[in-house]
């Protein structure tokens, strides 16, 4: 398998009038990667995609595909294919005509096109559906036709703009696996835009977390999840509990944070911020719901949290316990269901402990809003 064609964004700025949609983005996407831009809507991720596909001219900086500067090259001349959020299947063309549109442009004969369409229809598991109109297909089928249409153009880079957002949950989960399989089979670079961290984590080799035009962190799924670079990344990717406070003491890669409500707690400083946190700084401490474990009643220390239980629920694989948390937000704890007995503590205080390695200390910053 070839290494594929990489995409580089160098000092990319995109402005619309006074509004800065993308601020100084520097991203290196390796050939053959499944790369995701993850961020809430309006963070500028679609703008980046449009700059890569050529529908937008960067205000500053460069877009390189396979090492070539794309300045002045129109979308129809770039080795990219885009899958639109609403798919943009041509409503008046049959499925096979849709799929082989790029060949029609190049002047391929109807026979060649038919043959190629059949191959691709087999690949996307829609054999014999070529003569239908897009409107006669289901949502998932249309999705796959859009993928086939993009792949038929034999792009070096496939760009996907939240293509699963219109599907229902079950289909979405199924399509995740399918997309990942297709990507591994064709071996080209995929750039995927999503606001769904589940999609990003399950499919991607690397993820860029974006907030308000700025890329907060780039890394693989595990890094982004376990070792967030900013408070925003920590709160946006996966569920997380936040404790606000000030740095009291730093020793090596751990920091002691004096939290506003839960006393002094110890946490690992995230890799990106090591050496940057000083005593007295405003800080945030993040512990994921599943990182807690029950502690003996009355235990205390720098990795114990005690709070009053406000609510409890049983979700099957986990027990969820909600406790009075920091800043009005509930503290969520998920304990795995291992068949143990569980007695209600509703209205009573409860003590929990955590492994310091699983708690992350970060400089205080903007949190993701739900």
Partner 1 sequence: MKSFSFMRVSIWVYLAIFFAYLLGPLVIMSITAFNSPEFPRATPWECLTFEWFAALFQDERILNGIKNSILVGAGTVVLSVAMGLAGALMLTQIWPKLRATYYTIIIAPILIPGVVIGISTLVFWDRINRMVGLGADSFLSNGLFLTVIGQSTFIASYCMLVLVARLQRYDTALTEAALDLGATHAQAFRKVLLPFMKPAIASAAVLAFLASFENYNTTTFTFGEYPTLTIELAQKVRYGITPAISALAFIIVVLTVFAALFNEANIRRKDLVAAARKDATVEELESGKFRVPGFLSSNWAAVALVVMACATVVVVGTATVYSPAQCIANVQEQKRIETELRIQELRQRRAEEAARKAAEEAETAPKPQAAPSDNNSGFGGVFSPNTLTGEGEEESKAPEAEDNSNSGFGNVFAPSTLSGD
Say which residues have a Cβ less than 8 Å from residue 165's Cβ, sequence separation at least 6: 85, 194, 195, 196
Minimal distance, residue 81 CB to partner 1, in Å: 6
Q: Does 143 contact partner 1 by CB under 8 A?
A: no
Of residues 247 through 266, those in contact with partner 1 by CB under 8 A are none
Shorter beta-carbon distance to partner 1: residue 121 or 285: 121
Binding residues for partner 1, how many (CB under 8 A)?
A: 26
Minimal distance, residue 82 CB to partner 1, in Å: 5
Say which residues have a Cβ less than 8 Å from residue 111's Cβ, sequence separation at least 6: none
Minimal distance, residue 147 CB to partner 1, in Å: 13
Which of 7, 9, 48, 82 binds partner 1 (CB under 8 A)? It is 82
- R_g of the chain computed on alpha carbons: 24
Q: Which range touches partner 1 (CB under 8 A), out of 47-55, 214-222, 302-310, 341-349?
A: 47-55
Shorter beta-carbon distance to partner 1: residue 86 or 337: 86
Which of 20, 73, 88, 318 binds partner 1 (CB under 8 A)? It is 88
3-state secondary structure of 247: strand
Minimal distance, residue 46 CB to partner 1, in Å: 12
Which of 31, 40, 75, 263 binds partner 1 (CB under 8 A)? It is 75
Beta bridge partners of 354: 292
Q: Does 86 contact partner 1 by CB under 8 A?
A: yes
Shorter beta-carbon distance to partner 1: residue 82 or 179: 82
Q: Does 126 contact partner 1 by CB under 8 A?
A: no
Q: Does 84 contact partner 1 by CB under 8 A?
A: yes
Q: What's the rounded Cα separation, in Å, for the pair 305 and 268? A: 16
Q: Which range touches partner 1 (CB under 8 A), out of 21-29, 50-58, 195-203, 323-331?
A: 50-58
Question: Any idea which residue has 């598991």 for tokens?
Answer: 125
Sheet holding 292-294, edge to edge: 292-294, 349-354, 304-314, 318-323, 331-336
Q: Does 107 contact partner 1 by CB under 8 A?
A: no
Q: What's the rounded Cα separation, in Å, for the pair 282 and 181? A: 44
Minimal distance, residue 146 CB to partner 1, in Å: 9
Which of 105, 110, 293, 297 binds partner 1 (CB under 8 A)? It is 105
Between CA 221 and CA 229, with CA 223 as vertex, the angle to 5 degrees is 120
Q: Does 41 contact partner 1 by CB under 8 A?
A: no
Shorter beta-carbon distance to partner 1: residue 84 or 319: 84
Nearest partner of 331 among 240, 238, 201, 246, judged by Cα: 240
Q: Which H helix or E strand runs over 231?
A: helix 231-236
3-state secondary structure of 117: helix
* Contact (Cβ atoms closer than 8 angstroms) between residue 368 and residue 40: yes
Q: Does 90 contact partner 1 by CB under 8 A?
A: yes
Neighbours of 133 (CB within 10 A): 15
Q: Is the dihedral of CA 201, 205, 209, 213 positive or negative?
A: negative
Of residues 150 through 179, those in contact with partner 1 by CB under 8 A are 150, 153
Q: Which range touches partner 1 (CB under 8 A), out of 87-95, 171-179, 236-244, 354-362?
A: 87-95
Q: Does 80 contact partner 1 by CB under 8 A?
A: yes
Residue 183 Cα distances to 146, 196, 359, angstroms = 14, 19, 34
Shorter beta-carbon distance to partner 1: residue 147 or 295: 147
Q: What's the rounded Cα separation, in Å, for the pair 345 and 318? A: 16
3-state secondary structure of 113: helix
Which of 11, 71, 106, 329 binds partner 1 (CB under 8 A)? It is 106
Contact set with partner 1 (CB under 8 A):
53-55, 74-77, 80-82, 84-86, 88-92, 101-102, 104-106, 149-150, 153
């Amino acid at each position: 398998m070839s290494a594929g064609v990489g995409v580089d964004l160098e000092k990319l700025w995109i402005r619309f009038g006074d509004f800065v949609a993308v601020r100084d983005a520097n991203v290196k996407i390796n050939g053959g990667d499944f790369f995701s831009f993850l961020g809430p809507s309006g963070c500028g991720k679609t703008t980046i995609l449009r700059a890569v596909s050529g529908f937008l001219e960067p205000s500053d900086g460069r877009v390189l595909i396979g090492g070539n500067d794309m300045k002045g090259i129109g979308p129809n001349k770039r080795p990219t294919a885009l899958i639109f959020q609403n798919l943009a299947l041509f409503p008046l063309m049959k499925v096979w005509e849709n799929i082989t549109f790029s060949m029609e442009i190049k002047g391929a004969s109807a026979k060649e096109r038919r043959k190629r369409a059949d191959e691709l229809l087999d690949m996307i598991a829609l054999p014999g559906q070529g003569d239908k109109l897009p409107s006669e297909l289901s949502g998932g089928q249309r999705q796959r036709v859009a993928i086939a249409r993009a792949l038929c153009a034999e792009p070096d880079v496939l760009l996907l703009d939240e293509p699963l957002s219109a599907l229902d949950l079950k289909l979405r989960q199924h399509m995740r696996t399918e997309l990942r399989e297709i990507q591994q089979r064709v071996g080209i670079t995929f750039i995927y835009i999503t606001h769904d961290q589940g999609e990003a984590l399950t499919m991607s080799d690397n993820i860029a977390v974006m907030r308000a035009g700025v890329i907060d962190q780039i890394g693989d799924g595990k890094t982004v999840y376990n070792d967030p670079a900013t408070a925003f990344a920590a709160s946006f990717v996966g569920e997380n509990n936040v404790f606000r406070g000030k740095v009291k003491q730093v020793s090596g890669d751990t920091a002691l944070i004096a939290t506003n409500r839960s006393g002094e707690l110890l946490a690992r400083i995230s890799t990106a911020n090591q050496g940057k946190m000083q005593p007295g700084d405003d800080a945030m401490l993040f512990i994921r719901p599943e990182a807690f474990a029950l502690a003996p009643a009355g235990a205390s220390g720098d990795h114990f949290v005690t709070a009053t239980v406000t609510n409890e629920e049983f979700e099957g694989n986990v027990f969820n316990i909600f406790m009075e948390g920091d800043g009005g937000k509930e503290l969520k704890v998920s304990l795995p269901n291992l068949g143990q007995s569980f007695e209600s503590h509703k209205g009573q205080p409860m003590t929990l402990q955590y492994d310091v390695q699983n708690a992350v200390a970060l400089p205080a910053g903007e949190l993701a809003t739900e």
